[in-house]
Amino acid sequence: MGLWTLLMRLFPLSKANKESLELVNEIFSESEIKEMKELLKIHKARFSEDDFSTTNGFFKDSKYMTFKSNSVNSKIKERAEFFDRRVSQFGRELLFKAFSEVAEERILSLIAPNIIGLEDVKRAGLFQLFASEKVHILLLGDPSTGKTVILRSIAELAPISSFGLGSGSSKAGLTVTFSGKEMIKGLLPLADNGIACIDELNLMQNPDRAGLLNAMEKGFITYDKGNNHIQLEARVKVFASANPDGDRFIGRTIEVLKKQVPFESALLSRFHLVFLIRRPGTDEFLKITDKLIKGGETHIDEHDRGFVKAYIEYALSKEVSFDKSLSSLIQGFVADVKNDEGKFIVEITPRMVMGIMNMAKARTRLRLREKVEKEDILAVLKIFNSALYIKKDELAKQ
């Protein structure tokens, strides 16, 4: 040990290092803090920071604390890396906790920002990003209404996702296929533990239907052909879009609209939430045009998107409990909508109740809380109410 090293041990830590050690004191043992202090004193390691480099308009300070080695000595580097893993995790947790106060509106602003309106649809997609449990959403409606753009936004924000056409234009379609001995995964197994975003689901091929139903309900797909008998995990949340029979909805009554739904009840009932989307009327179209001309297009920064993915991953690791005392809110809502069932495109089933509960948990997780609160349920019920009750002006569109 050199004389200079001995002398350095005699000097007190800098104020900044003292403050940093005090901050991480709760995550290390007394002996580990002592070891870190030693490395800092002899300048073999340092507190530093990393940065998600988000734009100022998205989140003002996306820096977090790290602990880095200043030495080429392999043992010192190994210890510094050990400390850094926990310091970095702790720093990111502090950062995410601060972001949780504004997370809902900030992330919502990244979902199809160039699509005017459809706020409840976007918010439903936002909550689905934070769902650990099953939440399947269908956007059923006219072409050129922004459905695809919303799906693509969700796929780009989800830590694990797939995006493609229900027509199976990709080689493997939704499930799986083989090219010789090579197995090619489709959209469902590719999104295992994530979100499968399926555009134009009404064009789905018959061989994919059983696979989709299995994935949505049981979390796996099977393939049986020739000598290939396999089962693949596909624990997915499905976010899909579809056009009606005839490509565009025509009619003013629910009875007429129901006849244009392109799916049998077995598939439609798998979705917890179904939105009917119509082309905007003249007045609404003029408002959209005016806003587009004045505002131009919004481009999303890649660093913002990367930060959101990291935040979602962290949030999804959190367990959330459901307060049974709040169940009366859901029961009251379900009783009301059950009485109005004839006014809806979909039936009211127990699966919808599970969807409401799962989305309430997702909103809780979005805010990094551990227990569902009344406001979470009310926010979700507002979305379900919007999806179920089609406005009169929507019915009037031709």
Band of the pLDDT at 171, cuts 50, 70, 90? low
Cα atoms in the Cβ-side hemisphere of radius 13 Å centred on 52:
26
pTM of this prediction?
0.91
Q: Who wins on pLDDT, 79 or 284?
A: 79
Show the CA angle centred on residue 208, arms to residues 259 and 248, nearest 5°.
30
Q: Over range 125-148, report the average pLDDT.
A: 95
Q: Over range 120-138, report the average pLDDT.
A: 97
Residue 372 has pLDDT above 80, yes or no: yes
Q: Please say whether the beta carbons of 253 and 151 come within 8 A.
A: no
Dump pLDDT digits (tens) for 33-46.
999 999 998 889 99
**CATH for 119-395, among 2.40.50.140, 3.40.50.300, 3.40.50.1100, 3.10.20.30?**
3.40.50.300
Pick from 26-40, 181-195, 276-290: least confident? 276-290
Look at residue 223 in the predicted model and tell me its pLDDT. 83
Q: Please say whether the beta carbons of 150 and 118 come within 8 A.
A: yes
* Phi, psi dihedral angles at 179 (to 5 degrees): -115, 95
Dump pLDDT digits (tens) for 49-108.
999 999 988 998 899 999 999 999 999 999 999 999 999 999 999 999 999 999 999 999
Look at residue 8 in the predicted model and tell me its pLDDT. 56
Bridge partners of 46, per DSSP, are 68
Pick from 366, 371, 238, 369: which is nearest to 311 by CA? 366
Where exactly are the structural domains of the chain? 3-99, 119-395
Q: How many residues does the chain have?
A: 398
Pick from 206, 188, 184, 185: which is nearest to 198 by CA? 188
